[in-house]
Amino acid sequence: MRQIAQIIRLIHINFILIRHGLDEVVLATRLFAPLRFLAYLNPWYWTHNKDLPHEQRIRMALEELGPIFVKFGQMLSTRRDLLPEALANELALLQDRVPPFPGELAQKIVEKTYSQPLNTIFQEFNPSALASASIAQVHCAKLLDGTEVVIKILRPNIRKAISRDVDLLYTFARLLQRFSRDIQRLRPLEVIQEFERTLHDELDLMREAANASQLRRNFSNSPLLYIPEIYWHYTRQRVMVMERISGIPISNIDALRKHGIDLKKLAEQSVEIFFTQVIRDCFFHADMHPGNIFVATDNPSNPQYIAVDFGIMGTLGPKDQRYLAENLLAFFKRDYRRVAELHVESGWIPANTRVDEFEAAIRTVCEPIFERPLKDISFGQVLLKLFQTAKRFDMEVQPQLVLLQKTLLAVEGLGRQLYPELDLWNTAKPFLEKWLKQQVGAKAMIRKVRKLAPFWAEQAPDMPMLIYQSLQQLRQIEFNNRIKQDNVRREHSNRFVSRRRTFWLGAGLALLVSVGLNMGLSDYTTTAVPKLDWALAGVGIIALVFAFSSRRNKKWD
């Protein structure tokens, strides 16, 4: 039954692709070039708008195919290291404006999740969706105590739909890899695997709630960013309940101006929030598109951001965190040599890379952009060029850096929208310098000692025994090494003795056989045997005596 459903879905997908003229894209590849005439048999070939570029038609087809394909297009738009620029720009236009499912169905899902009637949980529940996305939709409600909340509910049968469509995406990827080398370079299977992992993370609202709680702790009492409170008592895997916030969508510039919001301050704070999450916490919101960001109106001169939707979060390890901070700081200082060295030290590019060549390549990309306002440059394009430059030096794709690139592009978009004159470099540089000062020097050492002090205090009583055991292990290792060395020497000596015995045995037998043959072939009597033969026979006998008297060196016995 599942296979029949997949076949029907596949037919529907092909119908939409052909209707948008995407059969031309496939037939334009080198493999199918001889079959190009088949495009003329497509009835929509004569009706669809041939002036539209195929990138736009791909975007339109994904929109019509449904929420999973829209989500896939959004994810693809962040992989500018893999896609052509025109296609990435077109896919970036995809939005999470998906038609909502009926409110009555949302109520049934909530009641089934809690196993009780809706009015025993909520005082009010608005069946009209406040927002609708590809994975879930949001409804307003009130708890029994009157607290206003929002309820995020997964779409019905979304897991089944995702599994079905992701399987089809894998099938498409395998077929395309066989048919085109250009497609192989884009590594479609790896892209879909990454997409599948992201989707499964977003399908667990308990995980999203945990992400929100962590981010809320990181920015507790912060004037920069506010994270709504999670109501854990009401949160399940398919339903999440959180505090309802009020603010102006970050994309509504006119409303921000009307409330007297300081746009320059707001733009600078977006940069500070980004680097605080990435450099200080190593945990950052990786889905910061305008639909997920709001601005509080309480303090227009010092505005505060409000973030929602925590399904996609990025993390950095301590090593990546430090190298990234040093890379950015060296980049801002135009120390391209240090940038190149850090790429090698971090393992992002091969260790055998010529640092001077990589340094020159980075300088060529970065030098033209400095001391220019944000409105005149695209940091996203610079970052893309850096990735392309590093790819020439066999830089491996770092998943954590891809999410970072996506987030930085979103921050740049916010800055460009709010205050085009923003100087990203001068805004970020003091923050990075402050962080690095906190990581090195006497204060950093004291802080690390304080952090490790409880662990050392706990281990202190066991230290004498640990030291004794370590010394015993060292003695045992030394003893074992000495035995191994003696065995090697004994084996070497035995081989020498064996070779010497073989030599004397062979020499003695050869001499005796030679003398015997000589005597047997001669006509003279034994008394008339020449002295030379007697001498050779004697030497042969002595050689045999040496061979059988050779013994192993007693030193190694």
C-alpha–C-alpha distance, residues 421 and 410, integer Å: 17
Active-site residue identified among 96, 287, 309, 320: 287
Q: Is 345 exposed, middle or buried (0-12, 13-18, 19+ CB in 10 A)?
A: middle
* Residues 6 or more apart in contact with residue 515 via CB below 8 angstroms: 533, 536, 537, 540
Helices in 78-146 by DSSP H: which ranges? Answer: 85-91, 103-114
Helix 67-77 vs helix 54-65: angle between axes, to the nearest 10 degrees?
A: 140
Q: In the annotation, is 320 catalytic?
A: no
> Strand runs (DSSP E) across 313-414, as ranges?
313-315
C-alpha–C-alpha distance, residues 242 and 136, integer Å: 14
Tally the C-alpha atoms within 13 A of residue 369's C-alpha that lie toward its C-beta.
Answer: 23
**Six-digit token string for 145:** 């105590």
**Six-digit token string for 281:** 């916490």
What type of residue is 266? Answer: L
Closest residue by Cα to residue 300 from 250, 252, 260: 260
**Six-digit token string for 402:** 């891809």
Which residue shows structure tokens 């999670």? 230
DSSP 8-state symbol, 290: G
DSSP 8-state symbol, 123: E
DSSP 8-state symbol, 32: T
Backbone dihedral angles phi then psi of residue 307, each to the nearest 5 degrees: -110, 145
Residues labelled as active-site residues: 287
